[in-house]
Amino acid sequence: MDNQENNQKLGEAESFSESSSPATTVTRSPAESDERQQPEDELRLYRKIAGWGKFSGIMLIISGVFSTVGGLFAFIVGAAPGVLQIFIGIYLLKSATAAGNIEADQKSYKEMLDYYAKYVQMTGILMIIGIAIFVVALIFLFVVGVAFYQESNHLYF
């Protein structure tokens, strides 16, 4: 009961100090507060992110290796999306590992977000590259189709 009273008094003191000065607002992020207790629901979500993130990261790395090897046989440039996919898998794996360590280390929260941001950025870059390759392929197929169509007209007349 003594600990509960101390926590209540501490909470009252913090709310008093925050409300006494309207120009000063105290905002704490989870990474800044070492004393912050993680709610059980939040910890369960971090463990879920850690489990599925590790699995997905490993699968992205493996498929990236296959894509890189396949791209090397087609063209050297064809290996680039596979290499990017490997990096995406590594960032997701690191983000998931940091999510699993959040309960023990508050610094892991920032690491998780940092690697997740890199994962999302690399995924976006890979999508842009994919769209660009698709557009170039469509233009190429259109030009080749028009050339064959014009050539076929000359053969019949």
All residues at 6 or more sequence positions from 39 whose CB lies less than 8 Å from its CB, including other chains: none
Contact 94, 41 (CB under 8 A): no
End-to-end Cα separation, the chain, in angstroms: 101
39 phi/psi in degrees, rounded to 5: -65, 150
| pLDDT over threshold 90, residue 58 | yes
- Using the predicted structure, report yes or no on whether residue 5 has a pLDDT greater than 60: no
Which distant-in-sequence residues (6+ apart) come within 8 Å of 134 by Cβ? none
- What pLDDT, in 10s, does the model give residues 138-153? 999 999 988 888 877 7
Comparison of pLDDT for 106 and 157, the residue scoring more: 106
pTM above 0.85, yes or no: no
Mean pLDDT (whole number) for 43-47: 86
Sign for the pseudo-dihedral over CA of 90, 93, 95, 97: negative
Q: Residue written as tokens 């709310």?
A: 15
User: Can you tell me the distance from the alpha carbon of 60 to that of 131, in angstroms, rounded to the nearest whole number?
Assistant: 20
Sign of the torsion angle spanned by Cα atoms 64, 66, 70, 76? positive
Confidence of residue 93 (pLDDT cuts 50, 70, 90): very high
pLDDT at residue 110 above 80?
Answer: yes
Position 135 scores a pLDDT of: 95
Residue 104 CA to residue 44 CA, distance in Å, equals 14
Band of the pLDDT at 21, cuts 50, 70, 90?
A: very low
Closest CA to 25 of 15, 40, 35: 15
99-118: average pLDDT: 85
